[in-house]
Amino acid sequence: YCEGIYMLNTQKYGAKLRKLVNAALKSKCTRYECPKCGKLKVVRKAYALWKCKSCESLFAGGAYSFATDSGNVVRRTVAEYES
């Protein structure tokens, strides 16, 4: 499903919107590094649910990307208070 779908003409109301849709589809279909096992095996399973195919861990993330900007800020502040 995710092979070569980045340039689909799903959005037909301007170049800027087409580029945004293609960027979202590309980040949705990219494999990410697992925080637990360190392998590039994390794929999107459902809306904001990401699963590692290696260690079978389930993560909550962004809708189209594994980590969001606000999630990164929260992760940094929690790590700062823990240390």
Q: Which pLDDT belongs to residue 24?
A: 84
Q: Which pLDDT belongs to residue 15?
A: 81
Q: Which pLDDT belongs to residue 45?
A: 92
Q: Which pLDDT belongs to residue 23?
A: 84
- Pairing of β 49-52 and β 42-46: antiparallel
- Residue ranges of the chain with pLDDT lower than 50? none
Spatial contact of 22 and 14, defined as CB atoms under 8 Å apart: no
33 backbone dihedrals φ, ψ, rounded to 5°: -80, 135
For 18, residues 6+ apart whose C-beta sits below 8 A from its C-beta are 9, 11, 12
